[in-house]
A and B are shown apart, each in its own frame.
Chain A
Amino acid sequence: MDFQTFLQQFVNALSLGSLYALIAIGYTMVYGILRLINFAHGDVFMVGGYLAFFGISSFLIPWWLAFALAIVLTTAFGVGLERVAYRPLRDSPRISIMISAIGASFLIENLAIVLFDARPKAFPVAEFFAKNYVIGGVYVAGISLLIPIVTAVLLAVLLWIVNRTKTGMAMRAVSTDIDAARLMAIDVNRIVSITFAIGSALAAIGGIMWALKYPRLEPLMGIMPGLKCFIAAVVGGIGSIAGAVLGGLLLGMVELMTVAFLPELTGYKDAFAFILLIVVLLVKPTGLLGKNQGEKV
């Protein structure tokens, strides 16, 4: 492989990894607060993509307005999901909450098949995003330049919210000990709702960015990105926002660089993420940037 090709692969990986990172942040936020794998996160992501699609294609509104509306509606959807599927089970055994999460994901997917139609839809990409650039012999899609910027901005905003605001302090408190937080007069339900709102908004932004990069929508499109971004969050250290970004970038690198250096293994590409997960869990179960948390007795 010549240097040019390596550089191209590096850029490819960076572009995919920053997209993973964007979605992984939402995962890590929710998990950090509730210790819940939100299996439906990938489906919220799918809903975000579809809402933007309907805004542009069916209601013919400008793309920026459609994106804004899609983010707002998806946020409401995510908060509603928490209210219906997770809140009633907050004090139930973990296994019930996990089943509820799987059930919610299953239900959203099947509803999407009925409501949105199982056939793939082409996402209308505005001219603005469709430009391609060549920088020093390396080809970069315009959207691939935009995604890392969006990820970086969101990372900064979230770090500010979590570390500098009162709500963020409450979030950290709930994350550390939900009962103690309640005793400190923190409205746990409100904090959880806010977390879900942020997580869902991130999923919607991720969904829209994904659709701009890979302009194809289908009801089951959220499953694989959802799983992979969860893996990214675990690899980075679940609950850690910076870790999620790191994990996303790392996952992108692992997936594409393995293909780049070992082309005969391309058929196994989907398995790399899971192998990475199992290895990380065995070697460093807290992830790269995660804090060590004792088992709750």
Chain B
Amino acid sequence: MKKRFSLLTLAAMMAAGISLVGCSGSGSTDKNVIKIGVFQPLTGANGAGGAAEYEGTKLANKLFPEVLGKKIQLVVVDNKSDKVEAANAATVLAQKEKVNAVIGSWGSSLSMSGGPIFAEAKIPAVAVSATNPNVTKGNEFYFRVCFLDPFQGTVGAAYAFNTLKAKKVAIIREVSNDYSVGLAKFFVDEFVKLSGNKNAIVATADYNTGDQDFSAQLTNLKQFEPDVIFAPGNYTESALIIKQARALGIKAQFIGGDTWDESSFLTVGGSAVEGAVFSTFFANDKPINKTSEAFLKAYREEFKKEPAAGSALGYDAYLVILDAIKRANSAEPQKIRDALAKTKGFEGSAGEITINAERNADKAAVFKTVKDGKFVFLTTVKP
């Protein structure tokens, strides 16, 4: 009896499986709809970042729902902060949904997972805040609307050297995070070059994503009495690091990168993160042009909170694609790609976007600090 049961279940499951595969082959191809894929991690480790960018894109879609007389439909796939899932999700967008263009993804490694799939399908993709050089390198169909890590590392080092007059710098990096490791390296190279002192980097410590206790690493750094500690990494880990550093009596200035630009950095860090400085894409307390004014107003109305930099860039990514479709006067992926490559001086909410020959945006970096529990604009650094 049991065997019969299991064989019947087996047959039923197989039938179910096959029919599901069958169903999954159908994607609607309405001529009057332009599909833009949103390729973002909505769950998993990068869920917060993906969600912030998606909010910006969603808002842009609400404000500008049409182009060339056609409706724009957002097709959202969750890549779950996982590379295998990201490859599958990208294939869904490229092959099943047959989108005209793609926005995303938060997290450079996830973007790289989708990259070859979009390139093979000849669909242009616009990364929002993926700062790793490898995202667009060698991929004719990947663009981005943010600056790159080499630039960010350079301006961070320049800020530490010129503005903070730092002599001794210590590094604490998230060794399991490609973003953090890369940024640390670009920072170190530039700082050594500026100071002309090979020993200007007095110590380097590593930690892993998800670590909670950094006291041993920080006590090690403390011995070297650094003026500045450069700590690129996830915002929650970084906030805990600064908190624990202060508890250990470390008074050095902390500098970080764009990942800190997230409200949880403030809530987790509390009073300890006061005075921390970081480079990012966008300052919501200082609109730089009309688009950014419009964005800020609409965002605050829609979501009743302050936007993260990712939201502004997610908004810009949508507008840049829209602009390319207008200029190409076509929604054909190849033509959108060619128009995207020619984007010049486009006014985005997070600054002017010019796409260069490497398909990257030449953009200025914004420095912010934490004052009275809020992010405050410090200065802008042009490339």
Which of chain A's residues have a CB closer than 8 A to the CB of B175? 266-267
Contact of B206 with A216 in the complex, beta carbons under 8 Å: no
Interface of A toward B, CB cutoff 8 Å: 1-2, 5, 8-9, 12-13, 15-16, 113, 118-122, 125, 130, 132, 134, 139, 141, 210, 213-216, 218, 220-221, 224, 255-257, 259-260, 263, 266-267, 269-270
Within 8 A of A (CB), among B1-52: 43-45, 47-48, 51
Contact of A12 with B240 in the complex, beta carbons under 8 Å: no
B377 within 8 A of A: no
Interface residues on B, range: 35 or more
**CA distance in complex: A220, B203 (Å):** 31
Contact of B213 with A119 in the complex, beta carbons under 8 Å: no
Within 8 A of A (CB), among B213-252: 213, 215-217, 219-220, 222-223, 236, 239-240, 243, 246-249
**CA distance in complex: A190, B240 (Å):** 42
Partner of B47, one of A5, A8, A119, A122: A119
Which of chain A's residues have a CB closer than 8 A to the CB of B223? 1-2, 5
Q: Provide the main secondary structure of the chain B interface.
A: helix
A141-B247 contact in complex given A113-B43, A269-B211, C-beta closer than 8 Å: yes
Which of chain A's residues have a CB closer than 8 A to the CB of B270? 122, 125, 130, 215
Could you list 26 A-B pairs, sorted by A, with CB under 8 Å?
A5-B219, A8-B222, A9-B216, A12-B213, A13-B216, A15-B215, A16-B213, A118-B43, A118-B44, A120-B236, A120-B268, A121-B267, A122-B264, A122-B268, A125-B270, A215-B240, A216-B236, A218-B236, A220-B210, A255-B216, A256-B216, A259-B216, A267-B175, A267-B208, A269-B211, A270-B211
A118-B47 contact in complex given A139-B249, A266-B205, A267-B206, C-beta closer than 8 Å: yes
Partner of B206, one of A15, A139, A141, A266: A266
Contact of A266 with B249 in the complex, beta carbons under 8 Å: no
Identity of the chain B residue whose Cβ is nearest the Cβ of A15 in the assembled complex: B215
B212 within 8 A of A: yes
Interface of B toward A, CB cutoff 8 Å: 43-45, 47-48, 51, 175, 203, 205-208, 210-213, 215-217, 219-220, 222-223, 236, 239-240, 243, 246-249, 264, 267-268, 270
Partner of B212, one of A13, A122, A216: A216
Contact of B212 with A214 in the complex, beta carbons under 8 Å: yes
Which of chain B's residues have a CB closer than 8 A to the CB of A122? 264, 267-268, 270
Contact of B210 with A12 in the complex, beta carbons under 8 Å: no
Partner of B210, one of A125, A134, A213, A224: A224
**CA distance in complex: A266, B223 (Å):** 16
**CA distance in complex: A231, B35 (Å):** 51
A266-B267 contact in complex given A1-B223, A118-B47, C-beta closer than 8 Å: no
Q: Once A and B bind, how many residue pairs between them come within 8 Å at the CB atom?
A: 101
**CA distance in complex: A253, B48 (Å):** 34
CB distance from A297 to the nearest CB of B (A): 29
Which of chain B's residues have a CB closer than 8 A to the CB of A121? 264, 267
Which of chain B's residues have a CB closer than 8 A to the CB of A269? 206-208, 211, 216
**CA distance in complex: A118, B52 (Å):** 13
Identity of the chain B residue whose Cβ is nearest the Cβ of A13 in the assembled complex: B216
CB distance from A23 to the nearest CB of B (A): 13
Contact of B248 with A139 in the complex, beta carbons under 8 Å: yes
**CA distance in complex: A134, B248 (Å):** 9
Which of chain A's residues have a CB closer than 8 A to the CB of B48? 118-120
CB distance from B282 to the nearest CB of A (A): 20
**CA distance in complex: A120, B267 (Å):** 10
Contact of B43 with A120 in the complex, beta carbons under 8 Å: no
Which of chain A's residues have a CB closer than 8 A to the CB of B210? 220-221, 224
Interchain residue pairs A-B with the least CB separation, the first 10: A122-B267, A267-B206, A259-B216, A12-B215, A214-B212, A118-B47, A256-B216, A119-B48, A267-B175, A122-B268
Identity of the chain A residue whose Cβ is nearest the Cβ of B181 in the assembled complex: A267
Contact of A139 with B268 in the complex, beta carbons under 8 Å: no
**CA distance in complex: A255, B220 (Å):** 14
A259-B220 contact in complex given A118-B43, A119-B51, A122-B264, C-beta closer than 8 Å: yes
**CA distance in complex: A213, B247 (Å):** 11
Partner of B207, one of A139, A220, A266: A266
**CA distance in complex: A15, B219 (Å):** 14
Which of chain A's residues have a CB closer than 8 A to the CB of B215? 9, 12, 15-16, 256
Contact of A266 with B47 in the complex, beta carbons under 8 Å: no
**CA distance in complex: A70, B249 (Å):** 33
CB distance from A277 to the nearest CB of B (A): 18
Contact of A260 with B220 in the complex, beta carbons under 8 Å: yes
Which of chain B's residues have a CB closer than 8 A to the CB of A270? 208, 211
Identity of the chain B residue whose Cβ is nearest the Cβ of A134 in the assembled complex: B249
Contact of B43 with A8 in the complex, beta carbons under 8 Å: no
**CA distance in complex: A9, B216 (Å):** 6
Contact of A263 with B203 in the complex, beta carbons under 8 Å: yes
Partner of B217, one of A1, A119, A218, A259: A259
Identity of the chain B residue whose Cβ is nearest the Cβ of A130 in the assembled complex: B270
**CA distance in complex: A5, B44 (Å):** 38
Which of chain B's residues have a CB closer than 8 A to the CB of A9? 215-216, 219
Partner of A119, one of B239, B243, B264: B264
CB distance from A24 to the nearest CB of B (A): 16
Contact of A263 with B240 in the complex, beta carbons under 8 Å: no
A260-B216 contact in complex given A122-B268, A267-B206, C-beta closer than 8 Å: yes
Contact of B216 with A12 in the complex, beta carbons under 8 Å: yes
**CA distance in complex: A213, B47 (Å):** 24
